[in-house]
Chains A and B, each alone.
Chain A
């Protein structure tokens, strides 16, 4: 089977897993709402602080912006430090929440691929049982993220612009980190012996190396071909909707606004489903690598086309 066809089959089979276990789609939604509420909780004392204007007026938001500018311009180090610490807390809490819900989500994907039903309560319960490794891993991953971003900034300052070498270094670090941590969530779920993030990372990287060897230099995932097909289908669908809307609201700008809104909603839904599909696929790869079988509706060829290999043309 060609790469294009395999990629498309892979996409279809992943969708069939979602079709059989529709509750899987709820996990990212719950995670998104939860993270939104957490961020809201942290920023509300600042956002709701008294500026002398009503909350809904633009003057209120301008006054908040002015406060930040004054702090930065006056080089009020104490306030800036508090501000940065506050942002760091928000960042780390977001990373923790994302990891927590990912553990719950992946646990249920594993159950779905094992032919069991999906249960949101069981997923959350599993994540609660794994709270310690999740917390430690989140702190570790969060700090690594900050280091990579800081390194990027330093290189930009040194090169005076986003230079080739800087981009290459940061890109390589990012790819290596992404590959090494590719199985980190299932490893957190199934690893009983350690909570040490370095050991968890080593285990994740070890699974990849043992199964696919050391020549892997990147993860393609389901691949661009399937993505392209779905995007084309979406564009076709949108064009039809657009034609209908234009006919109904001929000469009206409302039609254009409705069309643009539809595009945005379509892109968001598409991105969301694509994300779920990619995560189902990553769980399948984990089962394939550790258990030695191809789970669910997939086949062996699908398990091996998703990697960028050293020296390969693609």
Chain B
């Protein structure tokens, strides 16, 4: 699967690998690399390619299934689901409103951890510069 070759797992980022996989799948759906009905690599394929534990992939897929982003079909693998794909391509205004709410939550949580907004932004930009994507 072509998209996997672009995935660079960072074991020292402090973000669990299963969450990084979830983020990669979200990003791939968001930028159109993965479309509704596309088949995701199997757990075994992905675990071998990324050299990680199969349970890690299974956990990522499970969470995505629970959120309705992908659907597992027994014996056939996992596929990008229709409703969530549409949700990811929501109208700009709605997306902006959601982003505002999400950003507010992130800032509030960061402050509760003693992290200032500037520091958070600096970190986000640093990661973006390091990896091209967050």
Give the B-binding residues of A (Cβ under 8 A): 110, 113-116, 186-187, 190-191, 203, 206-207, 210, 287, 290-295
A295 to B51, CA, bound (A): 13
Contacts of A110 in B (CB 8 A): 51
A294 CB, nearest partner CB in chain B, Å: 8
Contacts of B12 in A (CB 8 A): 187, 190-191, 203, 206-207, 290
Minimal Cβ-Cβ distance residue in B for A199: B12
Cβ–Cβ contact B47 & A114, under 8 A: yes
Cβ–Cβ contact A291 & B54, under 8 A: no
Cβ–Cβ contact B54 & A292, under 8 A: no
A192 CB, nearest partner CB in chain B, Å: 8
Cβ–Cβ contact A291 & B52, under 8 A: yes
Contacts of A114 in B (CB 8 A): 47, 51-54
Cβ–Cβ contact A206 & B18, under 8 A: no
For chain B, the bracket of interface size reads 10 to 19
A164 CB, nearest partner CB in chain B, Å: 37
Minimal Cβ-Cβ distance residue in A for B17: A291
Cβ–Cβ contact A292 & B17, under 8 A: yes
Cβ–Cβ contact B11 & A113, under 8 A: no
Contacts of A206 in B (CB 8 A): 12, 14
- Which B36-94 residues sit within 8 Å CB-CB of chain A? 47-48, 51-56, 59
Contacts of B19 in A (CB 8 A): 292
Cβ–Cβ contact B14 & A291, under 8 A: no
Contacts of B51 in A (CB 8 A): 110, 114
**B95 at interface (Cβ–Cβ under 8 A)?**
no
- Given A290-B17, A292-B59, 4 additional A-B pairs, CB 8 A: A206-B14, A287-B53, A294-B55, A295-B55
Give the A-binding residues of B (Cβ under 8 A): 11-12, 14, 16-19, 47-48, 51-56, 59
A226 to B96, CA, bound (A): 56
A290's partner among B16, B47, B55 (CB-CB below 8 A) is: B16
Among B19, B47, B55, B59, the one with the most A-chain Cβ atoms within 10 Å of its Cβ is: B55
A187 to B14, CA, bound (A): 13
Cβ–Cβ contact B59 & A290, under 8 A: no
A289 CB, nearest partner CB in chain B, Å: 9
Minimal Cβ-Cβ distance residue in B for A295: B53
A19 to B59, CA, bound (A): 26
Task: Given A114-B52, A295-B55, answer yes or no on A290-B18 (Cβ-Cβ < 8 Å).
Answer: no
Contacts of B14 in A (CB 8 A): 206-207, 210
Among B12, B16, B47, B59, the one with the most A-chain Cβ atoms within 10 Å of its Cβ is: B12
Contacts of B54 in A (CB 8 A): 114-115
Closest 5 pairs between A and B when the two form their complex, measured CB to CB: A292-B16, A291-B17, A203-B12, A291-B56, A210-B14
A130 to B14, CA, bound (A): 23
A295 to B47, CA, bound (A): 13
